[in-house]
Structure 1
Amino acid sequence: MSSLAEKGLKISKNAIFSVFITRASKLLGRPFQIAIILKEVAEKLADKKSSKGAFGQLIDLGLTLVRLVQAYVTGAYRQVETSTIVSGVAVLLYVLSPLDLVPDFIPVVGVMDDFALISWFITKFQAEIARFQEWEKTSASAASGVAPAPAVSDKSQPAVAELGHS
């Protein structure tokens, strides 16, 4: 069976997802609408946060995506390609949309395509997400006046294999 990231790659190439990419590129200049989307996606992911294991890690990374887009839109973090942010917003729109390949109202299976697309995004943009997570740690330490913790190898970012296979 293929991994979640491979399934997400297939979804990312689907015509339905291209609609979300177009919508995301139009929304990028509208911070208030992006803020509403970020809040709704964070709430949706938080509802599923009770999940353990690989899906819990994937939800945490989905919330990292929400924070990345939020930091970009507010101007706090711009060390990321605009195309990455457009793809990230498209993923968030897809997660939020009731009109995706597998409707969310179908128990368990309904969120699998959402998780697959998040997994694809995390896999494709893993280096940019790792840089953002490091920036978050550094800026949080700077804001608190505490010296940043020593850098840890990529153990803070789950390996793709840890994200699970379906």
Structure 2
Amino acid sequence: MSTLAEKGVKIAKNAVFSLFLKRATGLLGKPIAVVVALREVAAKLDDVNSKKGPFQQTIDMVRTLIRLVNAYVTGAYRRIEPSTIISGLAVLLYVLSPIDLVPDFIPVVGLLDDLALISWFISKFRDELVSFQEWERTHAAEATAIAASVPAATDVTLTNAVTELGHS
């Protein structure tokens, strides 16, 4: 039987995921749209009922990924390859999207493809995530100041960003 990370590799090589890579590449230059997507992914994670055991570690790493992409987009953290950020953002967009290989409304099974893809990303980019967590511990004040300097989005901008993400 294949591991969750091995299943994630298969998803990462799938044509559906390549669409999310393209979308993530396009969004990377639009910080407000990325922030909207990150907030939606965080909200989706908050809706998960079972946050105990091994799932808690996965959720914690996804939250680290959200903070990492946010820090990259705001310019606070650039010690990472843009291709890694694009892959991470694509994973988050896949998790957020109602259109994926196994629909999320199917109990338990619907979240397995999301978890598999997240597991693949974490296993492939663990060192980068750990480096970012260390940077967060030593540069927390700097990161907070830069994140606070991002202008607040207007309703029109938020609507455009959500439309860009493929939501209605």
CA distance in 2, matches of 1:141, 1:52: 30
Query: What are the Cα deviations for residues 7-58 of structure 1, in whole angstroms up to 9, with x where unaligned?
Result: 1110000000000001100110000100100000011112226421111110
Report 1:122-141 matches (<5 A): 122-140=122-140
Letter in 1 for 2:2: S
Partner of 1:48: 48
1:3 is aligned to: 3
Structure 2 residue aligned with 1:92: 92
Deviations along 1:107-146, one digit per CA (max 9) or x if unpaired, are 1111111111111001101111110010011113788xxx
TM-score (norm 1): 0.83
Equivalent positions of 1:15-164 (< 5 A) are: 15-48=15-48, 50-140=50-140
Q: For 2:129 and 2:17, locate their aligned partners in 1 and report how far apart those are by CA, in whole Å.
A: 21
Identity of aligned residues (%): 66
1:32 and 1:73 map into 2 onto residues whose CA distance is: 9
Query: Cα deviations across residues 57-110 of structure 1 (Å, max 9, x unaligned)?
Result: 101111111000000000000000000000001000100000000000001111
How many residue pairs get matched? 144
One-letter code aligned to 1:54: P
Distance (Å, rounded) in 1 between the aligned partners of 2:59 and 2:142: 27
Q: Give unmatched runs, 5+ long, in structure 1.
A: 144-166
TM-score, normalising length: structure 2: 0.82
Contact 2:76 2:142 in 1 (8 A): no
Answer whether contact 2:24 2:86 (CA < 8 A) is retained: yes
Contact 1:49/1:56 (8 A) holds in 2: no
Instruction: Kindly provide the amino acid, as one letter, of the partner of residue 8 in structure 1.
Output: G
Cα distance in 2 for partners of 1:19, 1:113 equals: 16
Structure 1 vs Structure 2 CA RMSD: 1.6
